[in-house]
Amino acid sequence: MELFGRLDGSRRTSGFERTLVSTTPVTSTSDKSAATPPRRPTPADIELLAFAQAAELTARDLYEQAVAEGAGGDQIASLVALAAHHDAYAQSLSALLGTDAPQSRNDELFSSLKSGFGSDTESTALAAHELENTLVVTHTDLLGRLDGTEGAALVASILIGESRHCAALAALAGKSPVDDIDLFLTTSDVESLAPQA
């Protein structure tokens, strides 16, 4: 077997290589395009991604309310950073959606959660932990329903950040990853907020 080419740059091919090349099936490009998902969001994706943007703006506003109420103590910068993360997620979704982006929070969701985002840091951290877990479950649900790869990739990247938020908020609430393991790992009892088809 020849490991290196000849000095003139040519290379001998073995019988096996010639057989492999000659028996490799050729697929038509039409077969590939039928199986390839779209890059851009479909009309159904736009509805789901618009919902996700409104949810992110809601989370941002809830953190901003908690900061305005005095929550955070010496960890106020953490709550401010979490609000900024959700604002960045909403902006990313807006960039993908363009004029289809709602650019406003989900007022019903905000009203149902705002009482948990008050001046007490531990209570706020626990309410925020529950919110982040819900967003993780919601975005996981969206991932299974999105067709466009750009939207799915963006939601997946947001999902990763929000799952990290869950761990940080449990710690901010004074919970232990040993004694309170369910706060760090369990989302089975959380329901998705995503609109159902």
Q: What is the SS3 assignment for 5-48?
A: CCCCCCCCCCHHHHHHHHHCCCCCHHHHHHHCCCCCCCHHHHHH
Residue 48's closest CA among 158, 134, 136, 139? 139
Quick one: pLDDT at residue 185?
74
What totals of helices (H) and strands (E) does the chain contain, helices first?
8, 0
In this predicted structure, the answer to whether residue 81 has a pLDDT above a threshold of 80 is yes
In this predicted structure, the answer to whether residue 71 has a pLDDT above a threshold of 90 is yes
pTM for the model: 0.79
Express each pLDDT in 4-60 by its tens digit: 455 555 555 555 455 445 555 555 555 555 679 999 999 999 999 999 999 999 999
Quick one: pLDDT at residue 8?
56
Express each pLDDT in 113-143 by its tens digit: 999 999 999 999 999 999 999 999 999 999 9
Distances, alpha carbon 49 to alpha carbons 82, 90, 107, 138, in Å: 20, 10, 17, 11
Pairwise pLDDT comparison (154 vs 19), residue with the higher score: 154
Residue 165's closest CA among 130, 113, 116? 130
In this predicted structure, the answer to whether residue 66 has a pLDDT above a threshold of 90 is yes
What is the C-alpha separation between 66 and 76, in angstroms, rounded?
Answer: 9
In this predicted structure, the answer to whether residue 187 has a pLDDT above a threshold of 80 is no
Express each pLDDT in 82-107 by its tens digit: 999 999 999 999 999 999 999 999 99
Mean pLDDT check: name the lowest of 19-33, 59-73, 160-174: 19-33
What is the C-alpha separation between 139 and 194, in angstroms, rounded?
Answer: 8
* Torsions phi, psi for 6 (to 5 deg): -75, 165
Q: What is the CATH number of domain 38-185?
A: 1.20.1260.10
Quick one: pLDDT at residue 11?
57
User: Residue ranges of the domains in the chain?
Assistant: 38-185
How far is it between the farthest Cα atoms of the chain?
78
